[in-house]
Amino acid sequence: MTSKIWGGRFSAGPSAIMEEINVSVGFDQRLAKQDLHGSRAHCSMLVAQGIISPEDGDAIQEGLLRIEKEISGGNFLFKRSLEDVHMNIESRLTDLIGAPAGRLHTARSRNDQVATDFRMWVRAAFSTIDEEIMKLQSVLIDKAEQHAGAIMPGFTHLQAAQPVTFGHHLLAYVEMFGRDRSRMIDARKRLNECPLGAGALAGTSFPIDRALSAQKLDFDRPMANSMDAVSDRDFALDFLSAAAILAMHMSRLAEEMVNWSSAQFGFIRFSDAFSTGSSMMPQKRNPDAAELVRGKTGRIFGGLMSLLTVMKGLPLTYSKDMQEDKETVFAAFDTMELCLAATTGMIVDMQPNAERMRESAAAGFTTATDLADWLTQALNIPFRESHHITGKVVKLAEGKNCLLSDLSLTEMQSAEPRITQDVFKVLTPEASAASRNSFGGTAPDNVRAQVKAARERFLNKGRFS
């Protein structure tokens, strides 16, 4: 079949260039499942409303089922000459059942058909990504529980700041990914309105039942405005926006793993499953998976900016520009699935070096804040004065090239005579971390409680809420 649906007004076929720029079946065939589902629902509604006969409806449903089996079995031939997935399915339906196939498109335009199919695809994509994020949260929570008491340096400005626990650090990402899931779930709720029945832009004169179509396709309701229904793609932008923030969070975690696995940090080690070697330097163990997760973030950001740019100048309603909506979303979904799987695998695979992390946590005067807090709590010195005294003590330790805990009591008292031997109880990294027991703090007991709470919030209840 080579005829075009535009009709007899176009006596000559489009040029090869026009066909090349116009064809979309190479990528929109991913909507085949949704297109069939939407067509079955539309057909059922047409029969229920007496718009087509039950006999034609049965023939259409039987033909659609045969096409579904052909596609799932890999036996369906998608033809570029038929432009898109929708016309490929309609053409095949005509081949199979003849004239009744022509009744399926009654009271429907490709505009509302495409919008409905794409919403259903994105709806499923949100659910898939949510499940994958939950798997990543699960392995992070498990790893945090295993290392709830492992001491490491916490950083600000990438400078050692205060001792924290490795478990607490990992749980920070559990919270970030929880918010990513909530964005996905919120966006999924927003998109769950059905465009089907909006027609090309103005609705239809046929006595359709849009609520019935929406119900059959698991939408909450029909979209209220036919022009909006066919012309907006904010649901796709919601997906790309949520994906971009998720990608950013994964990139931050990937950056940490790149740093931690370096010889200079030495905090973690990956097995050969997530490391590669160098073609020239035999000693190298490169964290390529983490670097690629970090690098692929640009694809997601680019997809969001691409679709924003496509949509920003379009008047109502449909313009062919909107054909550019799908490839960016499909690519973002594929990239997210891969990066989530890789990140989950890396978290399971990585082995922390607790001794090296503890050694690093002790360096850089990371317990200076604990000294200042002790001066205020034990000696009732105003914190700003305590801060100044602590600075003098740090300067002494810098001059001796030693830790704060290595200074003698006499040396401490040269900065503040009221300091007692008790100060040394707060100057170890372990004591520092254990003292941070305020809600959300890094104390090991807190981390264990947070692990339990995180499992309940993010995993045991199923969907994040």
Catalytic residue positions, numbered: 157, 278
Rounded to 5°, angle at Cα 66 from 61 and 67 = 95
* Separation between Cα atoms, residue 177 and residue 167, nearest integer Å: 16
* Separation between Cα atoms, residue 102 and residue 342, nearest integer Å: 47
- Strand pairing class (193-194; 221-222): parallel
For residue 188, what are the contacts with CB-CB under 8 A and spacing of at least 6? 123, 126, 127
* Separation between Cα atoms, residue 213 and residue 193, nearest integer Å: 11
Per DSSP, the three-state class of 158 is: coil
User: Is-contact 299 386, C-beta < 8 A?
Assistant: no
349: left (phi over 0), alpha (psi -120 to 50) or beta: alpha
- CB burial readout 239-250, b (16+ within 10 A) else e: bbbbbbbbbebb
Position 155, amino acid: F
User: Is-contact 67 104, C-beta < 8 A?
Assistant: no
Phi and psi at 284, nearest 5°, equal: -75, 140
Instruction: Give the tokens for residue 130.
Output: 């949510």
* Separation between Cα atoms, residue 233 and residue 207, nearest integer Å: 27
- R_g (Cα) of the chain, nearest Å: 31
* Separation between Cα atoms, residue 326 and residue 303, nearest integer Å: 10
Cβ neighbour number for residue 274 with a 10 Å cutoff: 21
What DSSP string describes 299-366? HHHHHHHHHHHHHTTPPSS--GGGGGHHHHHHHHHHHHHHHHHHHHHHHHH-EE-HHHHHHHHHSSST
Instruction: Give the tokens for residue 78.
Output: 């998608």
Instruction: Give the tokens for residue 428.
Output: 């170890």
Position 88, amino acid: N
User: Is-contact 116 29, C-beta < 8 A?
Assistant: no
